[in-house]
Amino acid sequence: MTVRTGARTLELDGAGEAADLAAFLARLIHYDRAAAVRLQSEGAALAVFGRPPSFEVLAVRTARLARPAALDVTVSAGELLEAIDEPTGTVTVPEAVTGPPWAGVLPPRGGWQLVEGVPDAAAMRGVVSAAVAEFRSRDEELAPEGRTRAARDLIGRDIWSRTLGGTELPLRAVHAAQSLGFLRPGVPVALLSAGSWLRLRTPYGSVTVRRASGGFGMLSVAPA
């Protein structure tokens, strides 16, 4: 880790918090090597927002701080990952970068209401597995000359824009939660609503998405 003179250092609540944050950042970088994240903290919790482009959602990972801090800055996800010192549980905040458009449109901090009737984690993982299998099957049915990016995008939009059960949550949000390591076997899950936003919450992180009238757009890539 390279420490800059005068740089802001955050003290996370132990090596475990540092390792979990590092894992989240590594997953974001897997989908976008130039990923940026917005950091916000007003007390003993740090919220890290990122947007994996493959899913068109906002992902949120929180980390407990050993010392309260006030912070609101957008930084490079890669530089932040390199700045984490897992053994000491500290992270040196990199220099700010020009934030992407999504960083200025974050979900609300309060006013969330529980949405009833949401399947459990096992059922959600099953839905994602079935959707991935359907994508692969439909992709294989395409003629070789028809297996274009546009054709695969159409299949992806059809599958991942579907909603989960009787909710308004698009399947791409559930897929994102699983791919980012949030939707683990047996974990409690909850779906929350606030205004035009929906939030799929687990103990390992949340995925937020705007309803169709105010969304980020349609999914345009095949599942990884």
CB 49 within 8 A of CB 106: yes
Nearest to 44 by CA among 16, 9, 80, 10: 10
Residue 121 pLDDT: 95
In this structure, are 68 and 124 located in the same domain? Answer: no
Q: Is 138 exposed, middle or buried (0-12, 13-18, 19+ CB in 10 A)?
A: middle
Residue 82 pLDDT: 97
- Measured CA to CA, the distance from residue 164 to residue 171 in angstroms comes to 6
List the CATH number of the domain containing 77. 3.10.150.10
Nearest to 21 by CA among 57, 59, 69, 53: 59
Determine phi and psi for 55, rounding to 5 degrees.
Answer: -115, -15
Instruction: Give 147's pLDDT tier (boundaries 50, 70, 90).
Output: confident
Number of structural domains, the chain?
2
Residue 224 pLDDT: 35
In this structure, are 87 and 152 located in the same domain? Answer: no
In a domain, residue 224? The reply is no
In this structure, are 117 and 204 located in the same domain? Answer: yes
Residue 215 pLDDT: 43
Provide mean pLDDT across the span 140-159. Answer: 91
Last residue of a domain, one of 40, 74, 99: 99
Structure tokens at 167: 């909710």
Q: Is 68 exposed, middle or buried (0-12, 13-18, 19+ CB in 10 A)?
A: exposed
Query: Letter for the amino acid at 54?
Result: S
Last residue of a domain, one of 68, 99, 130: 99
In a domain, residue 167? The reply is yes
In this structure, are 47 and 14 located in the same domain? Answer: yes
In this structure, are 78 and 16 located in the same domain? Answer: yes
Provide mean pLDDT across the span 55-66. Answer: 95
Residue 42 pLDDT: 85
- CA-CA-CA-CA torsion sign (179, 182, 188, 190): negative
Q: How many angstroms from the chain centroid is the CA of residue 95?
A: 22
Which residues, listed in sequence order, are joined to residue 92 by a DSSP beta bridge? 9
Provide mean pLDDT across the span 70-80. Answer: 96
Angle between helices 171-179 and 121-141 (to 10 degrees): 100
Domain around 17: 9-99
Show Cβ contacts of residue 137 under 8 Å, excluding neighbours closer than 6 positions: none
Give the predicted TM-score (pTM) of the model.
0.87
Last residue of a domain, one of 42, 65, 99: 99
Average pLDDT, the chain: 89
N- to C-terminal Cα distance for the chain?
A: 31
Determine phi and psi for 3, rounding to 5 degrees.
Answer: -100, 125
